[in-house]
């Protein structure tokens, strides 16, 4: 364990602790433990130390060092930090270094946070285990023979191992929440558009959101408040400032339990723990209500059309011309593109580019992409109906606990199913959070997923804070 971000910031802001000493401990711990976890792909020791000294100087001068003063944070390696590598877990980016800061990196730096490095991920955030990383899988700190989940597996592992109190991930179909569940930490996917995507390597542009992974709900909220809010550099960014915090617990909130999330495919041990957690919310004064999200079973199909279509378009920029890997010995421009991409991309990325290109090609667009965008409206309507009756929806985050390395790599569809409970939240654009709610009999952590309507993060935090606390 490591101190919470809130506690570190409090101590650094009052001058009780020095940011430089905190960061030195963190860097030592990463150096000692990263080899067995492979959570970090790059550690930015010098930059973090310099940032820590500048925080300490501000405090010494009586200036406000920001709400995350002295808090070490790791960023998933698809988020740009000026001067640091961005690999996206891919060979195709070669030795690329980000020429500019993402909006989230800028806001973190301004808030006094110390960016300590870049974390491992499934290549271009496509996967559920980090086994698709070109730089080897990360391992789950709770059991190193198991995956940490993905695609933000490096970020989840770094927080779970106590290397950092906070990390950022990105979530296109569950890539923050599922690894949070597997590693026993908190993971927030904010409302679509709540956090700027500027400087995040685009995967599925209508689905992607950056969000925090943390040890506590309070830390996740603290971090979200720093990175959220309108950004003119992201045209899909929601207007206005993030909504104001809500006081109070879960008492008085209505929690919906959708029957479709408790059917075939759900591990009985996970189900028991999740149902107990919901009972716990009820004991604390929540009104629990059975609801239905009837189109849930189509979310996997809708997602695996929309996300690959958007990915195939977004990834066309990796062509070996302006940055990244270039194949040698290409006689013509066309073969330079094809060879660079053929050499640079891994199997899962190729699979999704192929699927997306097929679905968008002449004659198939209506049957696949347009159709999926229409079924997406039905899924969204299900949520609209549910959120007219309930404040928060509670489900398991994942159908199982963390699986073994290699267990699902042979069958893409099996792997895709580990995101089955998180996909629809992205398709509908709502906010979702995974909170640890207990351990299965084998000792592995289980996450409770809570979802709230777009823009209602403050309500989501109220419910999330109550998970696992004494009634």
Binding residues vs other proteins (CB under 8 A)? 94, 96-97, 99-100, 192-193, 206, 232, 235-236, 238, 298, 300-302, 304-305, 312, 316, 319-326, 330-339, 341-343, 345, 350-351, 353-355, 357-358, 361, 368, 370-378, 380, 412-413, 427-429, 454
Is the preceding peptide bond at 151 cis, omega within 30 degrees of 0?
yes
Q: Which of 133, 151, 196, 340 is catalytic?
A: 151
Residue 56 or 382 with smaller CB distance to other proteins: 382
175 catalytic per annotation: yes
At 436 the three-state DSSP class reads: strand
Minimum CB–partner distance for residue 371 and other proteins (Å)? 6
Q: Does residue 200 contact residue 170 with C-beta atoms inside 8 Å?
A: yes
Give the C-alpha distances (Å, rounded to integers) separating 202 from 64, 368, 464.
Answer: 34, 21, 29
Minimum CB–partner distance for residue 305 and other proteins (Å)? 6
β-pair type (209-214, 254-258): unpaired
DSSP 229: S
Residue 25 or 317 with smaller CB distance to other proteins: 317
Residue 287 or 292 with smaller CB distance to other proteins: 292
Residue 182 or 369 with smaller CB distance to other proteins: 369
76 catalytic per annotation: yes
Minimum CB–partner distance for residue 373 and other proteins (Å)? 4
Q: Does residue 165 contact residue 3 with C-beta atoms inside 8 Å?
A: yes
Minimum CB–partner distance for residue 326 and other proteins (Å)? 4
Instruction: Answer left, alpha or beta for residue 90, where phi above 0 means left and psi between -120 and 50 means alpha.
Output: beta
Minimum CB–partner distance for residue 157 and other proteins (Å)? 28
Assigned token pair, 337? 């593109």
Give the DSSP H/E element, type plus range, for residue 189: strand 186-189
Assigned token pair, 231? 């950004």
Residue 290 or 410 with smaller CB distance to other proteins: 410
Q: Which of 152, 170, 175, 312 is catalytic?
A: 175
151 catalytic per annotation: yes
For residues 258 and 275, what is the distance between their CA atoms, to the nearest angstrom? Answer: 12
11 phi/psi in degrees, rounded to 5: -70, -35
- Start-to-end C-alpha separation, the chain: 25
Catalytic residues: 76, 151, 175
């Amino acid at each position: 364990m490591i101190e919470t971000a809130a506690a570190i910031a409090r101590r650094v802001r009052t001058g009780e602790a020095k940011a430089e000493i905190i960061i030195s401990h963190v860097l030592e711990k990463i150096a000692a433990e990263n080899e067995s976890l492979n959570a970090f792909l790059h550690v930015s020791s010098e930059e973090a130390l310099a940032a820590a000294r500048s925080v300490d100087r501000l405090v010494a001068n009586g200036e406000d060092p920001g709400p995350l003063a002295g808090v070490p944070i790791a960023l998933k390696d698809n988020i740009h930090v000026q001067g640091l590598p961005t690999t996206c877990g891919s060979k195709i980016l070669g030795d690329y270094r980000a020429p500019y800061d993402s909006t989230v990196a800028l806001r973190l730096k301004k808030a006094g946070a110390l960016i300590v490095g870049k974390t491992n991920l499934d290549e271009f955030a496509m996967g559920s285990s980090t086994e698709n990383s070109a730089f080897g899988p990360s391992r789950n700190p709770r059991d190193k023979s198991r995956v940490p989940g993905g695609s933000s597996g490096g970020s989840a592992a770094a927080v779970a191992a106590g290397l950092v109190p906070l990390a950022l991930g990105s979530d296109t179909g569950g890539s923050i929440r599922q690894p949070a569940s597997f590693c026993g930490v908190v993971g927030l996917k904010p409302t679509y558009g709540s956090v700027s995507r500027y400087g995040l390597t685009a995967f599925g542009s209508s689905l992607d959101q950056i969000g925090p992974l943390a040890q506590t709900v309070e830390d996740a909220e603290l971090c979200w408040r720093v990175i959220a809010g309108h950004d003119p550099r992201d045209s899909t960014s929601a207007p206005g400032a993030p909504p104001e915090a809500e006081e109070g617990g879960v008492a008085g909130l209505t929690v919906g339990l959708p029957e479709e999330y408790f059917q075939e495919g759900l591990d009985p041990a996970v189900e028991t723990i999740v149902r107990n957690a919901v009972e716990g919310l009820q004991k604390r004064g929540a009104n629990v209500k059975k609801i239905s999200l009837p189109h849930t079973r189509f979310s996997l199909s809708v997602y695996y059309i929309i996300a690959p279509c958007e990915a195939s378009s977004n990834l066309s920029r990796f062509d070996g011309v302006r940055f990244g890997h270039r194949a040698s010995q290409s006689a013509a421009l066309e073969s330079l593109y094809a060879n660079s991409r053929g050499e640079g991309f891994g199997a899962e990325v190729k699979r999704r580019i192929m699927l997306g290109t097929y679905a968008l090609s002449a004659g198939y667009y209506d049957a696949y992409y347009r159709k999926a965008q229409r079924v997406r409206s039905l899924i969204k309507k299900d949520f609209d109906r549910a959120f007219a009756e309930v404040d928060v929806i509670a489900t398991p985050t994942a159908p199982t606990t963390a699986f073994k390395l290699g267990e699902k790599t042979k069958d893409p569809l099996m792997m895709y199913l580990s995101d089955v409970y998180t996909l629809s939240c992205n398709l509908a654009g709502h906010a979702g959070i995974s909170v640890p709610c207990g351990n299965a009999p084998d000792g592995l952590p289980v996450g409770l997923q809570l979802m709230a309507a777009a823009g209602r993060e403050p309500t989501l935090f109220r419910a999330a804070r109550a998970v696992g606390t004494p009634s």
